[in-house]
Structure 1
């Protein structure tokens, strides 16, 4: 059985910057502090981003705030989710690839994403992709500042749900940043880089990706790569 772990942002879709709109009011509601700026986000987990953002505002003792912050962040995002279809879009070939893999009984699709789970669900639901992935076995951005941990948690959940370990040779992480590649390599699984984000194909290859794709638009070739 093949296990495919998808990153979301700039791999499956562009969410139109809605998360950044939700971040500031959630932060101010929790801390009472005026908003200054958000830490760099690409490829990082929401926990990692939050820790740095809190530090940028002079808050080093972030732990007491995180649970409430993530809950409010999810609420603020949900209040704006109608903007996803106005401002966002799917990356080329995504719907066709995920839809075709969903018909394969020997392929399981899930998410390993820096997003917190409620926001991951909102993003995929907006683009009618939610039924194509197993959210239950995914790895999400609240779980660690290190993305490799998310891959490991997903592997553990998949093994428990399917009552069998997955051979590392049958596990693929697909993402658009060097963080995705590093997380795959740290767990001994295949890393496929997709150059649809801010990281170039050359940089993904230099990070150690086993395969680098321009995008997912060559659907037959991508399906062969992910399911053969």
Structure 2
């Protein structure tokens, strides 16, 4: 049965912070996929994994195709599995994330999934590592391998969840995430827990910006 409402969470800097581990693992996967050491990385905030990979490759003078990305994505998933201990030791769930997920799960008629630039396998590993996966309906979400543009990911999630834009809500920490939700016609609650300030998020069009997820009652009231 379709959810009456679905809450679509971003992952990085909204629910978890990998504290540099994510970039290290991306560098390993990049070298495995391309044979080149990753000397620098393209912009990542709010950007999908295929675009990050393609633009990073260009910075190294490489032209890539879908098969190159698929090799990268497989390597990225493998290295996340291999380095779960590092991820758990150095990264963390953001304060209030677990309580917020639990509180949303207790709301009648609500379901939760993910809209993330991460590929699905990595998204699953990240949330499972920090115990944040128990309420997530993975099949209803959208992930980096599904589309290049984040607004398209929101639309894909709506289609998978079989809900209208009015019955969905996006929580994200980046201007790109805010803009994607609005382009898809979805209400957005921004969380200023990433690299973007509250002013940046308001400028992107967010009507509600939370400083973090620590005030569970405020998180829930923002969903109305």
TM above 0.5: yes
SS of structure 2 residue aligned to 1:196? coil
Query: Is the 8 Å Cα contact of residues 47 and 143 (structure 1) preserved in structure 2?
Result: no
Is 1:9 aligned to 2:12, yes or no? yes
CA distance in 2 between counterparts of 1:107 and 1:158 reads 11
Is 1:179 aligned to 2:176, yes or no? yes
CA distance in 2 between counterparts of 1:167 and 1:191 reads 14
CA distance 1:167–1:145, shift in 2 (3 Å): closer
1:142 maps to what in 2? 145
Matched pairs, number: 221
Is 1:69 aligned to 2:66, yes or no? no
CA distance in 1 between counterparts of 2:39 and 2:136 reads 36
Instruction: Give per-residue Cα distances to partners, 1:17-49, cap 9 Å, x unaligned.
Output: 222111222222222223321212111111110
Is 1:123 aligned to 2:126, yes or no? yes
Per-residue deviation, 1:86: 1.1
Query: Is the 8 Å Cα contact of residues 18 and 81 (structure 1) preserved in structure 2?
Result: no
Query: Is the 8 Å Cα contact of residues 54 and 64 (structure 2) preserved in structure 1?
Result: no
Instruction: Give the aligned CA root-mean-square deviation in angstroms.
Output: 1.3
CA distance in 2 between counterparts of 1:101 and 1:213 reads 16
1:183-194 counterparts in 2 under 5 A?
183-194=180-191
1:162 maps to what in 2? none
SS of structure 1 residue aligned to 2:84? coil
TM-score, structure 1 normalization: 0.92
Q: Which runs of 5+ in 1 are unaligned?
A: 160-165
Would you identify which runs of 4 or more consecutive aligned residues in structure 1 move more than 4 Å? Answer: none
Per-residue deviation, 1:199: 0.5
Per-residue deviation, 1:128: 1.0
1:154 maps to what in 2? 157
CA distance in 1 between counterparts of 2:128 and 2:101 reads 14
Per-residue deviation, 1:112: 0.3
SS of structure 1 residue aligned to 2:146? coil
1:102 maps to what in 2? 105
2:201 maps to what in 1? 204
CA distance in 1 between counterparts of 2:122 and 2:64 reads 25
TM-score, structure 2 normalization: 0.94
CA distance in 2 between counterparts of 1:19 and 1:154 reads 24
Q: Which runs of 5+ in 2 are unaligned?
A: none
CA distance in 2 between counterparts of 1:33 and 1:83 reads 24
CA distance in 1 between counterparts of 2:190 and 2:203 reads 11
CA distance in 2 between counterparts of 1:35 and 1:97 reads 36
CA distance in 2 between counterparts of 1:115 and 1:207 reads 22
